Amino acid sequence: MTEAEISPATNVPLLRPLKVLHVGPGFGQRGGVASVLGELAASAVLFGDEGISFSFFETRGFKRPINLLLFGLVDIPRFVIAMCQKVDAVHFHVSADGSFYRKFVLYLIARSRGKRTLFHWHANNLKAFRSSAGWMVARAVTNFVRGSDAAIGVSREMSQDLEDERGTRDRIYTIGNSAYAAETATKDGEKTARSDCLPYLAFAARFVPEKGIADLFAAIALLKGEGCFARLKLAGTGDIRPWEQMIENLQISDRVTFVGWLSGEEKLQFYRDARAFCLPSYREPFGIVTLEAMFCGVAVIGTNRGGFLDLVEEGVTGYLVAPRDPKALAGSIRSLIESPESARQMGLAGRDRARRLYSTEAIVGQYVQCYRDVAMKRTGRQ
């Protein structure tokens, strides 16, 4: 059966339904890839309207040794069974290290069953991972990326890495993420900051060095030395003890607060109450939290790397600075702290940009085109 048959009555192609199996993190794992899968699940109705249905195959992380054993004894047999069922395409959501190894094993099984596959790269730097992991892993990366029917990058920078690996632009797609909850919340009326809330900078991410937290703290300390009062609130997960020690050493304990993991309406209000959202990552693949803040009408300060280059329009919706440059970061923060109206206008422009380029409908449409292209390729229709 071909991908598209022509209706004798209307002469319009009739697209057959497609079933896509998403392979990604599960079992309570958090993080960017898990958020993407959550966004896809929330958009299931829109995909259904296009004749595409989903199922999800959860994989467990390798942080605990027992999970490696369970992967071999439980997950692989489960996946073999899944491959014996009706699946038109297997969509692998891949990050570095353990995620790559798990997905590569499952990819080999999928290919052995003749399934169409998509390689979706969510990590920072494919080249760095490839070169640091040894020649066997490098060959596996080449096999996985080139052997898949399509490769997806979450930003233009990530897609360039995939193009370099594949050696061609053919079947490479740049598909950003959506922010369904934040987008939906702004459709029912514009909610604003609480009047009794003092302005602050919002940060939301894992508390790890690559998110630029040390640079952010250094910028706050610089501003304190210049007499500029900038308050910072950090939401997320991770060990905060080393960061608390850094805050104490910099003498900015009176200006920095950790608020823990936030979700739902509480997280959205956290964005709305902020003067600006600040995430000085060394390289952010995309940044769902940044998009969430944009939908909430908040100006963004990020770095001139990765997904920020796609999300933020410099000087219009926010500012982009070089990574590891606390002085430049402090300058951007100060401009928004001292000019509330500029911050407000940038936030409104960011919301418009988010709605125009990253609406759920727009992102779903890009996925649908990718899946249809892959199906047509494998059935010989160009």
Q: What is the 3-state secondary structure (H, E, C) of 106-136?
A: HHHHHHHCCCEEEEEECCCCHHHHHHHCCHH
Q: What pTM, to 2 d.p., does this model score?
A: 0.86
Please name the residue that has the structure tokens 């939290």: 289
Task: Tell me, yes or no, whether 50 and 199 share the same domain.
Answer: no
Q: What confidence score (pLDDT) does residue 10 get?
A: 45
Task: Tell me, yes or no, whether 45 and 92 share the same domain.
Answer: yes
Task: Tell me, yes or no, whether 174 and 184 share the same domain.
Answer: no
User: Which residues lie below 8 Å from residue 287, measured CB to CB, with a gap of 6+?
Assistant: 279, 281, 302, 306, 307, 308, 311
Q: Domain of residue 295: give its range.
A: 180-357
Q: What confidence score (pLDDT) does residue 1 get?
A: 40
Helix, coil or strand: residue 184? helix
285 touches 260 (CB < 8 A): no
Please name the residue that has the structure tokens 């959860």: 58
CA-to-CA dists, residue 305 to 95, 205, 286, angstroms: 18, 16, 10
Task: Tell me, yes or no, whether 372 and 330 share the same domain.
Answer: no
Report d(CA 101, CA 111) in Å as an integer. 16
Task: Tell me, yes or no, whether 325 and 188 share the same domain.
Answer: yes
Task: Tell me, yes or no, whether 113 and 250 share the same domain.
Answer: no
Per-residue model confidence as pLDDT tens for the chain (382 residues):
445 555 454 444 557 899 999 998 875 666 678 888 888 998 999 999 999 999 999 888 787 889 889 999 999 999 999 999 999 999 999 988 888 999 999 999 999 999 999 999 988 778 888 888 788 989 999 999 999 999 999 999 999 999 999 999 999 999 999 999 899 988 765 556 555 567 899 999 999 999 999 999 999 999 999 999 999 999 999 999 999 999 999 999 999 999 999 988 999 999 999 999 999 999 888 889 999 999 999 999 999 998 999 999 999 999 999 999 999 999 999 999 999 999 999 999 999 999 999 999 999 999 999 999 998 875 443 3
Q: Quickly count: other Cβ atoms within 10 Å of residue 228's Cβ.
A: 14
94 touches 148 (CB < 8 A): no
Task: Tell me, yes or no, whether 86 and 206 share the same domain.
Answer: no
323 touches 164 (CB < 8 A): no
Task: Tell me, yes or no, whether 273 and 314 share the same domain.
Answer: yes
Output the CA angle 331-335-340, nearest 5 degrees.
Answer: 155
Q: What confidence score (pLDDT) does residue 282 get?
A: 92
Q: Give which of 23, 17, 175 is closest to 91, Cα–Cα.
A: 23
Task: Round to the nearest angstrom and report the end-to-end CA distance of the chain.
Answer: 15
| 322, 328, 334, 340: CA torsion to nearest 10 | -30
Task: Tell me, yes or no, whether 292 and 173 share the same domain.
Answer: no
Report d(CA 134, CA 147) in Å as an integer. 20
SS (H, E, C) 280-311: CCCCCCCCHHHHHHHHCCCEEEEECCCCHHHH
Tokens encoding 218: 């250094």
Angle between helices 288-295 and 340-357 (to 10 degrees): 110
User: Which residues lie below 8 Å from residue 330, measured CB to CB, with a gap of 6+?
Assistant: 218, 219, 220, 222, 223, 226
Task: Tell me, yes or no, whether 129 and 214 share the same domain.
Answer: no
Q: Where are the alpha helices (DSSP H) in 229-359?
A: 241-250, 264-272, 288-295, 308-311, 326-337, 340-357
Task: Tell me, yes or no, whether 98 and 78 share the same domain.
Answer: yes
Find the radius of gyration of the CA atoms of the chain. 22
**What's the CATH code of the domain at 138?**
3.40.50.2000
24 touches 123 (CB < 8 A): no
Task: Tell me, yes or no, whether 160 and 207 share the same domain.
Answer: no
Total domains present in the chain: 2
Tokens encoding 137: 């892993």
Long-range contacts of 258-263 (CB under 8 A, 24+ apart): 258/233, 258/234, 259/233, 259/234, 259/235, 260/235, 261/235, 261/236, 261/237, 262/204, 262/235
197 touches 272 (CB < 8 A): no
Q: Give which of 22, 21, 34, 90 is closest to 61, Cα–Cα.
A: 34
Tokens encoding 136: 């066997």
Q: Give which of 63, 79, 74, 71 is closest to 31, Cα–Cα.
A: 63
